[in-house]
Amino acid sequence: MPFGQLTDRLSQVFRQLRGRGKLTERDVDEALRQVRLALLEADVNYRVVKEFIARVRDRAVGQEVLASVTPAQKVVKIVHDELTALMGPARARLTLSPRPPSVIMLVGLHGSGKTTTAAKLAYHLRGQGHHPLLVAADLRRPAAQAQLAALGRANGLDVWTGPERERVDPDSPEASRRTLAVISTGLEEARRTGRDVVVLDTGGRLHIDQELMQELKEARRVAAPSDVLLVVDAMTGQDAVNVADAFSREVGIDGVILTKLDGDTRGGAALSVKAVTGRPIKFVGTGEKIQDLEPFHPERMASRVLDMGDVVTFVEKAEAAMDAARARELERRLRRDEFTLEDFVEQIRQVRKMGSLQELLGLLPGAGRLRALKGLELDDRELVRVEAIVSSMTKEERRDPAIIDGSRRRRIAAGSGTSPADVNRVLRQFEETRRLMRKMAGAGRSGTPWKVFPRS
């Protein structure tokens, strides 16, 4: 879970602070000492930590805070505000040209997830009503063009790879000339086919060198992008920040995309990159699926770091996953007490569309405390097992689970590759869910309105 270790440490610090009631300047200093250690352990840049703590202390030791009825809450709010300012302060949007096609040029080193991110970004733009063209101009990494083309085919995205030619040495001058030719012809193709956005995947290397930087400068000159976005791996911590700083100085970047944020439990890159480079984070990668690319909202991310949850993002995910007509039909069935195992598995599929269980848990307020207290680990494979068990039932069994006796349980278990005990557990979960739904339906009849999430 993103920021897991940092969130747990900060939550502990602020719980202790709240337990003191009235605060003294010494209490604040001790809490900020713990916050500083937590940030340094999270691999946040030392200079960034030093300046951050100084800003928080300047605001937190004033009379308005120390004399407050709830001083600890005010300190937490100050930390939240300063974290937001550190990463933002506001969402940084893509810069699109008034004269299409707008070119969004992705740069970065090998292993950062640049090619996959190019496909995710094009998919995201299409969902926003744009008509993107992917241009595969990474000739340095073997099969990079083929990888992007495969991602395009799998997700209905058009990819331009240039004319088919024999392979060349990626370190040769011919490779650089070929790269520029792919970019030029890709732009021509975008204009010819009426595309409004071009997502340009460029070449990288395992490390920064002058030859790579020169090639990217030439690519930038030919492409004339409206946005140059650096793709970096969040899990590399301060290395990601150092790479961002080098690309910002050498090539010039307009923003950053942090990949693999779902696997980064420390958060050093996310909290440092804006302060070090002066360039904002525009998107974050939160998983391996094509839809796992999110616009970066500093205020929401600060809330996640402090275990306040991110209900806005949770609702947005629900709105994107839920079909409005299906939601209304489900509401009707609930009101009539017609909720079946078919509806149950449909709800599981909707949840899976929203993301992993660990990711969804991270969006709920207090999730860090719940995880720390109970050692909670959520396994998405459990949802897959439930779906397999329900799918192994007959239509009659799904609509009337009361008919499932011992022999039927054994048959369902064999068909789903599980055990009769697993089948029993799913049936109990279904009954518990149905009881909850009945209560909710009763509340709805007594005046509590239903919330239907329409597809946005």
Instruction: Render pLDDT for 290-345 as a digit per residue (tens, 0 to 9).
Output: 988 999 999 888 888 887 655 555 555 555 656 666 666 666 666 666 678 877 77
Domain ranges of the chain: 4-87, 102-308, 313-445
**Interhelix angle 268-277/71-87, nearest 10 degrees:** 60
Q: Give the C-alpha separation, 248 to 230, whole Å.
A: 9
What is the per-residue pLDDT across 407-436, written as a single tens digit (0 to 9) for each?
999 999 999 999 999 999 888 888 877 776
Q: State residue 15's pLDDT score.
A: 84
Identity of residue 71? P
CATH topology of domain 4-87: Four Helix Bundle (Hemerythrin (Met), subunit A) (1.20.120)
Report pLDDT for 36.
Answer: 93
Q: What is the pTM of this model?
A: 0.71
Cβ density class 288-316: b for 16+ within 10 Å, e for less: eebbbbbbbbbbbbbbbbbbbbbeebbeb
Let me know if the fold of 4-87 is the same as that of 313-445: no
Q: How confident is the model at residue 379 (pLDDT cuts 50, 70, 90)?
A: low
Question: Does residue 114 surpass a pLDDT of 90?
Answer: yes
Question: Which of 19-28, 206-215, 326-335 is predicted with the least confidence, judged by mean pLDDT?
Answer: 326-335
In the predicted model, what is the mean pLDDT of residues 68-96? 87
**Topology classification of domain 313-445:** 434 Repressor (Amino-terminal Domain) (1.10.260)
Measured in whole angstroms, the distance separating CA 354 from the mean position of its chain's CA atoms is 11
Spelled out in words, what is the top-level CATH class assigned to the domain 102-308? alpha beta
